Chains A and B, each alone.
Chain A
Amino acid sequence: MTVATIPLRILIGKVGLDGHDRGVKLVARALRDAGMEVIYTGLHQTPEQVVNTAIQEDVNAIGISVHSGAHNYLLPRVLELLKEQEADDIVVFAGGIIPNEDICWLKSKGVRALYLPGTPMEEIVQFVRGLHETVLPLTERIGTGKRDT
Chain B
Amino acid sequence: MRETQERKNPFVSLSGLPVARLYTKDDLKDWDPEHQLGVPGEFPYTRGIYPTMYRGRLWTMRQFAGFGTASDTNARFKYLLSQGQTGLSVAFDMPTLMGLDSDDPRARGEVGYCGVAVSSLEDMERLFDDIPLDQVTTSMTINGPAAILFAMYLAVAERRGIPSDQLDGTLQNDILKEYIAQKEWLFPPEPHLRLITDTIAYCSEHVPTWHPISISGYHIREAGSTAVQELAFTLYDGLTYVDAAVNVGLQVDAFAPQLSFFFNSHNDFFEEIAKFRAARRLWAREMEKRYHPQNPQSLRLRCHAQTAGCSLTAQQPMNNIVRTTLQALAAILGGTQSLHTNSMDETLSLPTQNAVTLALRTQQIIAHESEVANTVDPLAGSYFIEQLTNQMEEGAREYFQKLDAMGGMLNAIEEGFPQREILEASQRYQREVDKRERIIVGVNDYTEEKYHSIPLLRISEESENTQLERLTSLRTRRDCAKVTEVLQAVQQAATTRRNLMPYLIDAVKARATLGEICVALKEVFGTYQESAVL
A–B contact via C-beta, under 8 angstroms: yes
Interface residues of A (CB under 8 A from B): 16-22, 25-26, 28-29, 40, 42-43, 46, 68-70, 72-74, 97, 99-101, 116-118, 120-122
By the criterion CB–CB under 8 Å, are B534 and A25 in contact? yes
A68 to B100, CA, bound (A): 15
By the criterion CB–CB under 8 Å, are B444 and A69 in contact? no
Most chain-A CB neighbours within 10 Å: which of B100, B310, B440, B459?
Answer: B310
Q: 1/0 contact trace for B423-454 toward A, CB 8 Å?
A: 10011001001100000100110000001010
A121 to B534, CA, bound (A): 16
Q: How far is the CB of B104 from chain A (nearest CB, A)?
A: 10
Contact partner, B347, options A40, A42, A97, Cβ 8 Å = A97
- For residue B443, which residues in chain A have a CB less than 8 angstroms away from its CB? 118
Question: Contacts A22-B222, A25-B423, A46-B106: A118 and B451 contacting too (C-beta < 8 A)?
Answer: no
By the criterion CB–CB under 8 Å, are A68 and B444 in contact? no
A-B pairs, top 8 by smallest CB distance, nearest first, are: A19-B183, A73-B109, A69-B113, A70-B109, A17-B94, A70-B110, A116-B314, A118-B443
What are some 7 contacts across the A-B interface (CB < 8 A)?
A16-B110, A18-B114, A40-B532, A68-B110, A70-B109, A117-B310, A120-B434
What 8 additional pairs, Cβ within 8 angstroms, besides A25-B426, A28-B534?
Answer: A16-B110, A17-B94, A25-B533, A29-B427, A70-B108, A73-B109, A118-B440, A121-B434
By the criterion CB–CB under 8 Å, are A117 and B426 in contact? no
By the criterion CB–CB under 8 Å, are A43 and B313 in contact? no
B224 at the A/B interface (Cβ < 8 Å)?
yes
Q: How far is the CB of B126 from chain A (nearest CB, A)?
A: 21
Q: How far is the CB of A66 from chain B (nearest CB, A)?
A: 9
Contact partner, B349, options A20, A40, A42, A97, Cβ 8 Å = A97
Question: Contacts A22-B224, A29-B427, A42-B530: A116 and B347 contacting too (C-beta < 8 A)?
Answer: yes
- For residue B427, which residues in chain A have a CB less than 8 angstroms away from its CB? 26, 29
A70 to B223, CA, bound (A): 20
Chain B residue, CB-CB nearest to A100: B451
- For residue B534, which residues in chain A have a CB less than 8 angstroms away from its CB? 25, 28-29, 40
A6 to B366, CA, bound (A): 58
- In this complex, the interface size class of chain B, counting residues with CB under 8 Å from chain A, is 35 or more
Interface residues of B (CB under 8 A from A): 94-95, 97-98, 100, 106-110, 113-114, 178, 182-184, 222-224, 310, 313-315, 347-350, 423, 426-427, 430, 433-434, 440, 443-444, 451, 453, 456, 459, 530, 532-534
A121 to B444, CA, bound (A): 12
By the criterion CB–CB under 8 Å, are B433 and A120 in contact? yes
A117 to B347, CA, bound (A): 8
Contact partner, B313, options A19, A118, A121, Cβ 8 Å = A118
Q: How far is the CB of B462 from chain A (nearest CB, A)?
A: 15
Chain A residue, CB-CB nearest to B346: A97
Contact partner, B97, options A17, A28, A73, Cβ 8 Å = A17
By the criterion CB–CB under 8 Å, are A74 and B314 in contact? no
Q: How far is the CB of B474 from chain A (nearest CB, A)?
A: 22
By the criterion CB–CB under 8 Å, are B94 and A26 in contact? no
By the criterion CB–CB under 8 Å, are B456 and A99 in contact? yes
Chain A residue, CB-CB nearest to B100: A17
- For residue B347, which residues in chain A have a CB less than 8 angstroms away from its CB? 97, 116-118
- For residue A18, which residues in chain B have a CB less than 8 angstroms away from its CB? 94, 114, 184
- For residue A100, which residues in chain B have a CB less than 8 angstroms away from its CB? 348, 451, 453
A93 to B65, CA, bound (A): 31
Most chain-B CB neighbours within 10 Å: which of A73, A74, A116, A118?
Answer: A118
Q: How far is the CB of A43 from chain B (nearest CB, A)?
A: 6
By the criterion CB–CB under 8 Å, are A72 and B109 in contact? yes
- For residue B109, which residues in chain A have a CB less than 8 angstroms away from its CB? 16, 70, 72-74
Chain A residue, CB-CB nearest to B345: A99
Contact partner, B223, options A16, A22, A117, Cβ 8 Å = A22
By the criterion CB–CB under 8 Å, are A68 and B94 in contact? yes
By the criterion CB–CB under 8 Å, are B108 and A73 in contact? yes
Q: How far is the CB of A136 from chain B (nearest CB, A)?
A: 30
Chain B residue, CB-CB nearest to A98: B348
By the criterion CB–CB under 8 Å, are A121 and B349 in contact? no
A121 to B459, CA, bound (A): 31
A100 to B317, CA, bound (A): 12
